[in-house]
Chains A and B, each alone.
Chain A
Amino acid sequence: MSGRHRARSWTERTIRALLRAFPFDFRADHGRDLEQTLRAQHREATARGGRGALFRLWMEILGDVITTAPREHLAILKQDTAYALRALRRTPVFAASAVLTLALGMSATTGMLAIVNAVMFRPLTVARPDEIISISNRTESLSASPWVSYRDLQDYRAATRVLADAAGFSIRFASLKVDGAADRITIDLVTDNYFSMLGIGAATGRVIQPERGRPWIDDRVLVLAHSYWRTRFGSDPRIVGRTVRLNGVPFTVVGVASARFRGTEPLLRAAAYAPAGTFKVFSAGYSGNPFEDRALRMFTVLARLNPGVTIAEAQAELDVKAATLARDFPSTHKDVSLQIVPETHARPTPQLGPFLRRASTALAGLAALVLLITSANLANLLIARTATRGREVALRTALGARRGRIVRQFVTESVALSVVGGAVAIPIGVFAMERLRAFVAGASAAATLDPDFGVDTTVMAAALGIAVGAGVVAGLAPALWVLRSDVAENLRGAGRGVTTRFGGALRSTLVVVQVALSLTLLVSGGLFVRSLDRARAVDLGFDPNGLLLASASPALQGYDDEQRLAFYDRVRNRIAAIPGVEIASWIQFPPLGITGNSASVAPEPRPVDPKWRPPIASEGVVGPEYFATARIRLVEGRAFEGRDSAANAPVAIVNERLAQMFWPDQSPVGRYLIANDARLEIVGVVQNGKYQNVAEAPLGALFRPLAQVAPGSASIAIRTSRALADVGPDVRHAFSTVDPDVAIYDVRAMTTHLDNGSAFFPFRLAAFMTSLFGGMGILLASIGLYGMVAYQVGQRAQEFGVRMALGAVAADIIRDVLWHSGRFAVVGIAVGLVLSAGVAQLLRGLLVGVSPFDPVTYVLVSVFLTAVCLLASVIPARRATALNPLATLRAE
Chain B
Amino acid sequence: MPETPMTLASVAPAIPEIYLTIMICVVLMVDVFAGQKRRGLSATFTLFTLALGAALTGMYAHVSERTTLFDGLYVADELAWVLKLAGFLLVAFSLLYSRTYLDRHGLLKGEYYVLALTALLGVFVLASANNLLTVYIGVELLALSVYAMVAFDRESGIAAESAMKYFVLGAIASGTLLYGMSMIYGMTGTLSLDELSTRLQGSTDLGVILGLVFLVAAVAFKLGAVPFHMWLPDVYHGAPTSVTLFIGTAPKLAYFALAFRLLGHGMQGVQADWSQMFGALAVLTLIVGNLVALAQTNLKRLLAYSTIANVGFIVLGFVTGTASGYSAALYYTLVYALTALGSFGVILLASRKGFEADELEHYKGLYKRDPLLAFIMMMLMFSTAGVPPFVGFWAKLRIIQELWATGHTWLVIVAAAVSVVGAFYYLRIVKLMYFDAPAADVPGTERQTGVRLALGLNAAAVLLLGVLPSPLLDLCARLIR
Q: Say if A and B assemble together.
A: no
Which residues of A are interface residues toward B (Cβ below 8 A)? none
Which residues of B are interface residues toward A (Cβ below 8 A)? none
